Amino acid sequence: MTTTTATHRGFWYRHPGLRQGGLLTAPMAWLVVVYLGSLAALFLTAFYQVDDFTGQVVRSFSLKNFQNLFTTSAYYQSVFRTISIAVLVTVLCLVIAVPLAFFMARVAPRSWRPVMVALVLTPLWASYLVKVYAWRSMLQPDTGVIAWFLKPLGLGGPGYGYLGIVITLTYLWLPYMILPVYAGLTRLPDSMLDASADLGAHSGRTFRSIVIPLIFPSVVAGSIFTFSLSLGDYITAQIVGGKVTMLGNVVQQTYVTNLPFAAAVATLPVIIILLYLLAVRKTGALENV
Amino acid sequence: MTLSRGTKILLGIFALIAGAFIYVPLGIILINSFSTNKSLTWPPTGFTTEWWGRALDNEGVRSALLTSVIVALCATAIALVLGLLISLAIARYRFFGRESISLLIVLPIALPGIVTGIALNNVFTSYLGGLTFLTLVVAHATFCMVVVYNNVLARLRRMGGSVEEASSDLGAGGWTTFRLVTFPLMKSAILAGGILAFGLSFDEIIVTTFTAGPGITTLPIWIYQNLFRPNQAPIVNVVAAALVLFSIIPIYVAQKFGSDDERAGGVI
Amino acid sequence: MHAKRLLKVAAVSASAMLLVAACGGSSGSSSSGSSAAASGGAAAETPGGSAFAGPVGMGEGQVNILAWPGYVEDGSTDPAVDWVTPFEKETGCQVNLKTFGTSDEAVKLMQGGGWDVVSASGDATLRLIYGDLVQPVNTDLVPSYADIFPDLKMQKFNSVDGVAYGIPHGRGANLIMWNTDKVTTPLDSWAVTFDPKSPYKGAVTAYDSPIFIADAAVYLMATQPELGIKDPYALDKTQFDAAIALLTQQKELIGEYWSDYTKATQAFESGSTAVGTSWQVIANLAEADGGHVAAAKAKEGATGWSDTWMIAKDSANINCAYKWVDYIASPSVNAQVAEWFGEAPSNAKACDLTTDKNFCTSYHAGDTEYWKDVYYWNTPTTACLDGRTDVQCIPYSEWGTAWTALRS
């Protein structure tokens, strides 16, 4: 590298378009070909049929699967139930994560921070399935841990079912909400909060007018995790759901015997998530994930 | 922002309760790993260390653990390269469709795992000759890319382009600038992204179920098989409890190396 | 210089692909990818073509096995449980295993190709046979076949027109089980799990699979004879609708459905489930744990399962495949599998070799009378399995859709 500057700023310097193309080729080929390609292939399948006898996919175009999906009340009830679970989980995660992250980032001594972050991350390393099974012990009617805590109050445990699913999913995805919110809170400049106080705003007002707007993208980023992970889950419902099922269970149960129908069902969460992502894109939340 | 003492105490109490919510189930996992009951029935019927002993010389756990680590390392390596390339392109160039890329790259993690799983499964089995170790790595890398990308991109944005311009004004070429200036500044962000990607891949079960080839047993799959069939559920709890203990290592590394600026800001 | 730099940049953007190659290399095994099985379907009479003529010669060095978890153990689950290593030593056939969680998954995997043998339950066997995915088995080449219980041979789910399609592995009946703290009088009928006035409302359990529709059909055979159900897997529209109506009514009583038996064992032991469908192995596990449970075969009869080792139509390792099906059905191995998994062995001689001498009695292995009213899982097809030709029966794919809709 001892030649003149002119040669250093050679080919790649003179062709930024190619340089950028070079950077993008591999990842874009990966995302577009591997990922979007697979999704497209799946959604094409949603318009195919399955042969009754062999169970093989027959490539003849029709809207039968979607018709079936929207005319069977059980399915669209399942859609609404799943969305309501995902929304509830997201709200609960938010309600727990914001005050906790606020405590971690703004109240507790600075030196505690790494330890507290580590403590919040720990459950992520205990396997997903094992945690769900632990929640079976928590939720067990009569003799479970929650029931034991509630007994003195004259209440019973929530048991297995809708509420059990909501609580378990909240537990599973909580760290994914705490971390972006915490990161957002640590990024808040002290100067801005001080300025707000100097201008006479009490802490509640500062929280509403300064903190909330500034951490909004982080909250949305967290909600992408909690909402979409809940929307697609089926194993939790199998283990603590009692007889309640989610959309993921429908996909999982039908994908082997009737892939086209499973594909049609799968389009619903995809559309919901896409709409959500498009709506929040302007907040910059996607880059806080 | 000055909070009243009362507010601080309230927040502290809330944090304690939230901590209990996070740790009671982990406690149950630990307790069940010492239970004599084979089906994890609560409350435990007796105390035994048999499962810890059996887990230690269980070859299946060890090989599943190794498989998981290899898969996660491969997926992380690919995600690092791809995520790095894409974040450099986004941070340093303007081009048509640039705004859509952040949407595209977040899709694999934002769409439900079961959708990603059956979409990839369908393509791999119908058009590409079946599932292998490679299909699993490809699937994992796809959803791990986003965490690398976001961590690195955030760092690049904070760095701005001025240091790189200075480097090139001083006569360094593009590659030299990257090697001596850009890369060292991004190192901690890359590490944070890498650790997250590793973690995401390591505990993934849904996409894994649909994309792992024959005979490839990652730890979550091993756990699934052992919970859902033969009679050794407590061993699974031993494994989970041990993982929690081991998890201190990567978290310590992340904290130590990510410490130059808002470390956890870099993590996720 | 330029070329050098260009190379470097190219190297960076291509390194992703190299990583793929590196990671791919460490997998060791490549799928044989021979999914192009469609040979024109010329052999319409015996699906899957003709059986291997033999003789079974030198092994090909490997065999790709698809099995229920617990059927093929190589010591990695528990060092004491290993019948794969002796097989590999004896035959030189390296075992490559993939397990599956449901029969549907097994069929799907078989469609992908690349397998040599599969342990198929009755709700998968006919789909595999008519899907042209498995080949007839030449039982003369399988010495262990001679000792298989006669009432497991040439059944509706493992043979077509007198041609055998596999070697029976083991069997179990779906029992009625109850927690004796919650249910104080012994049960002998499914009624408490179906009757809307059941005292155990909210604490009933049922098996979470489309095949459970047959359990409702078995109950209807006894309680509504006017429906004329002869075979719970051959249901015409009216009979099928009646079964679905019964199950919809049952859903009100259900606390949980189960498909993994850790969950079922736990629910029965803790009493969160009072009564419901179960397997012998669940009852034994719960009892061994000190749970207060009991199980019995209901007087209405029961569904049951009998698994069959089948050989893939396009098996690339046919000699190793035959060696495996013979080995796994041989008395000592059959005894080991049956005890580990918790099912009745298929080989009559296995009963002398179990470590628990009461094992075969407890699982009713050779009790022909016991199995008389057990209807083994089978795959419903449009052509009624009970021989009726005046009506069309509801095929399995519709059982699947109906079950999913019921559960949603």
Residue C255 lies in a domain: yes
Same domain, C156 and C178: no
Q: Which of A35, A160, A176, A236 to mutate to test the interface with B (most CBs of B within 10 A)?
A: A35
Q: From the CA of C112, how many Å to the nearest CA of chain A?
A: 11
With CB atoms and an 8 Å threshold, state whether B88 touches A23.
yes
Q: From the CA of A282, how many Å to the nearest CA of chain C?
A: 30
* SS3 (DSSP) at C118: strand
Is the confidence at residue C304, as pLDDT, over 50?
A: yes
**Which residues in A lie closer than 8 A to residue C381 (C-beta atoms)?**
53
Where does the pLDDT of residue C30 fall: very low under 50, low under 70, confident under 90, or very high at 90 and above?
very low
- For B265, other C-beta atoms within 10 Å of its C-beta total 24
Residue closest to B201 by CA, chosen among B98, B69, B57, B8 = B69
Per-residue pLDDT averaged across B202-224, rounded? 86
Residues of chain A with pLDDT under 50: 1-7
Please state, rounded to an integer, the average pLDDT across all residues of chain B: 81
Per-residue pLDDT averaged across C336-362, rounded? 91
Residue C56 lies in a domain: no
For residue A4, the model assigns a pLDDT of 45
Same domain, C187 and C286: yes
Strands C62-67 and C94-99: parallel
The answer to whether the beta carbons of residues C157 and C379 sit under 8 Å apart is yes
Identify which of C1, C14, C408 has the shortest CB distance to residue A78. C408
Dihedral sign for Cα atoms in the order C159, C164, C166, C168:
positive
Q: From the CA of A13, how many Å to the nearest CA of chain B?
A: 8
Residue given tokens 């600075």 in the structure block: A110
C contact residues 22-61, partner B, Cβ 8 Å cutoff:
22-24, 26-31, 33, 35
- For A190, other C-beta atoms within 10 Å of its C-beta total 9
State the amino acid at position A86 in one-letter form: A
Neighbours of chain B (3+ CB pairs under 8 A): A, C
For residue A16, the model assigns a pLDDT of 63
Where does the pLDDT of residue C235 fall: very low under 50, low under 70, confident under 90, or very high at 90 and above?
very high
With CB atoms and an 8 Å threshold, state whether B213 touches C27.
yes
* SS3 (DSSP) at C374: strand
As a whole number of angstroms, the distance between CA C258 and CA C254 comes to 11
Is the confidence at residue C270, as pLDDT, over 70?
A: yes
For residue C45, the model assigns a pLDDT of 57
Identify which of A39, A130, A136 has the shortest CB distance to residue B223. A130
* CB pairs < 8 Å spanning B and C: 140
Q: Tell me: the pLDDT tens digits for C42-52?
A: 334 567 778 88
With CB atoms and an 8 Å threshold, state whether C33 touches B130.
yes
Domain boundaries, chain B: 58-266
As a whole number of angstroms, the distance between CA A273 and CA C186 comes to 51
For residue C8, the model assigns a pLDDT of 53
CA dihedral C290, C292, C296, C298 (to 10 degrees): -150
Is C185's Cβ below 8 Å from some Cβ in B?
no
Where does the pLDDT of residue C200 fall: very low under 50, low under 70, confident under 90, or very high at 90 and above?
very high
Neighbours of chain C (3+ CB pairs under 8 A): A, B
Architecture category of domain A73-288 in CATH: Orthogonal Bundle (1.10)
- For C161, other C-beta atoms within 10 Å of its C-beta total 7
Q: How many residues would you count in chain C? A: 408
Give the containing element (helix H, strand E) for C376.
strand C374-376
Question: Burial level of C295, CB count in 10 A (0-12/13-18/19+)?
Answer: buried
For residue B231, the model assigns a pLDDT of 62
Q: Which of A96, A127, A188, A196 to mutate to test the interface with B (most CBs of B within 10 A)?
A: A127
* Domain count of the fold of chain C: 2
Per-residue pLDDT averaged across C136-158, rounded? 92
The answer to whether the beta carbons of residues C267 and C195 sit under 8 Å apart is no
- For A194, other C-beta atoms within 10 Å of its C-beta total 13
Is the confidence at residue B156, as pLDDT, over 90?
A: no
Domain boundaries, chain A: 11-45, 73-288
Where does the pLDDT of residue C27 fall: very low under 50, low under 70, confident under 90, or very high at 90 and above?
very low
For residue A3, the model assigns a pLDDT of 44
Neighbours of chain A (3+ CB pairs under 8 A): B, C
Domain enclosing residue C104, as ranges = 62-171+307-366
Dihedral sign for Cα atoms in the order B152, B153, B154, B159:
positive
Q: Which of B206, B219, B229, B235 to mutate to test the interface with C (most CBs of C within 10 A)?
A: B229
Q: Tell me: the pLDDT tens digits for C4-25?
A: 554 554 554 455 455 555 565 4
With CB atoms and an 8 Å threshold, state whether A75 touches C14.
no
**Which residues in C lie closer than 8 A to residue B133 (C-beta atoms)?**
23-24, 26-29
With a pLDDT cut of 90, the percent of chain C lying above it is 57
C-alpha distances (whole Å) from B212 to each of B143, B195, C23 are: 15, 22, 14
Dihedral sign for Cα atoms in the order B195, B197, B198, B204:
positive
C-alpha gyration radius of chain C:
24
Q: Tell me: the pLDDT tens digits for B160-169?
A: 777 777 777 7
For residue C36, the model assigns a pLDDT of 34
Is B168's Cβ below 8 Å from some Cβ in C?
no
**Which residues in A lie closer than 8 A to residue C131 (C-beta atoms)?**
54-56
Residue closest to C100 by CA, chosen among C69, C145, C134, C125 = C69
Distance of CA A250 to the CA centre of its chain: 19
Is C260's Cβ below 8 Å from some Cβ in A?
yes
* SS3 (DSSP) at C294: strand
C-alpha distances (whole Å) from A209 to each of A103, A189, A201, B10 are: 18, 14, 9, 21
As a whole number of angstroms, the distance between CA C122 and CA C134 comes to 14
Give the containing element (helix H, strand E) for C169.
strand C167-179
Question: What secondary structure does DSSP assign to B38-94, as a single string?
Answer: TT-PSSP--B-SHHHHHHHT-HHHHHHHHHHHHHHHHHHHHHHHHHHHHHHHHHH--
For residue C212, the model assigns a pLDDT of 94
**Which residues in C lie closer than 8 A to residue B82 (C-beta atoms)?**
16
C contact residues 86-125, partner A, Cβ 8 Å cutoff:
102, 104-105, 107-108, 111
Same domain, C139 and C262: no
Is B25's Cβ below 8 Å from some Cβ in A?
yes
Q: From the CA of C208, how many Å to the nearest CA of chain A?
A: 9
As a whole number of angstroms, the distance between CA C237 and CA C235 comes to 7
Residue C358 lies in a domain: yes
Is B86's Cβ below 8 Å from some Cβ in A?
yes
Range of weakest confidence among A79-88, B254-263, C205-214, C254-263: B254-263
For residue C374, the model assigns a pLDDT of 93
Architecture category of domain B58-266 in CATH: Orthogonal Bundle (1.10)
Identify which of B54, B125, B227 has the shortest CB distance to residue C262. B227
Please state, rounded to an integer, the average pLDDT across all residues of chain C: 85
Per-residue pLDDT averaged across C225-231, rounded? 93
Identify which of A52, A133, A140 has the shortest CB distance to residue C397. A52
Identify which of B18, B89, B247 has the shortest CB distance to residue A23. B89
With CB atoms and an 8 Å threshold, state whether A258 touches C396.
no
C-alpha gyration radius of chain B:
22
Range of weakest confidence among A1-10, C249-258, C371-380: A1-10
**Which residues in C lie closer than 8 A to residue B77 (C-beta atoms)?**
19, 23
Q: Tell me: the pLDDT tens digits for A85-132?
A: 999 999 999 999 999 999 998 888 888 887 888 888 888 878 888 899
End-to-end CA distance of chain C: 65
**Which residues in C lie closer than 8 A to residue B125 (C-beta atoms)?**
112
Is the confidence at residue B185, as pLDDT, over 80?
A: no
Say which CATH number the domain at C85 has.
3.40.190.10
With CB atoms and an 8 Å threshold, state whether B58 touches C33.
no
Residue closest to C337 by CA, chosen among C30, C22, C67 = C67
For residue C43, the model assigns a pLDDT of 37
- For B266, other C-beta atoms within 10 Å of its C-beta total 26
Residue closest to C210 by CA, chosen among C389, C394, C68 = C394
Same domain, C241 and C386: yes
Residue C287 lies in a domain: yes
For residue B261, the model assigns a pLDDT of 43
Q: Which of B9, B29, B115 to mutate to test the interface with A (most CBs of A within 10 A)?
A: B115
The residue in chain B having the minimum alpha-carbon distance to the alpha carbon of residue C337 is B230
| DSSP conformation class of C355 | S
Q: Dihedrals φ, ψ of B213, to 5°?
A: -75, 175
Is the confidence at residue C70, as pLDDT, over 50?
A: yes
**Which residues in B lie closer than 8 A to residue C291 (C-beta atoms)?**
41
Residue C354 lies in a domain: yes
The answer to whether the beta carbons of residues C296 and C279 sit under 8 Å apart is no
Is B258's Cβ below 8 Å from some Cβ in A?
no
As a whole number of angstroms, the distance between CA C362 and CA C345 comes to 11
Q: Tell me: the pLDDT tens digits for B35-66?
A: 888 777 778 878 888 888 888 878 788 889 99
Per-residue pLDDT averaged across B163-191, rounded? 77
Q: From the CA of B12, how many Å to the nearest CA of chain C?
A: 37
The ipTM (two decimal places) reads: 0.82
With a pLDDT cut of 70, the percent of chain C lying above it is 89
Residue C260 lies in a domain: yes
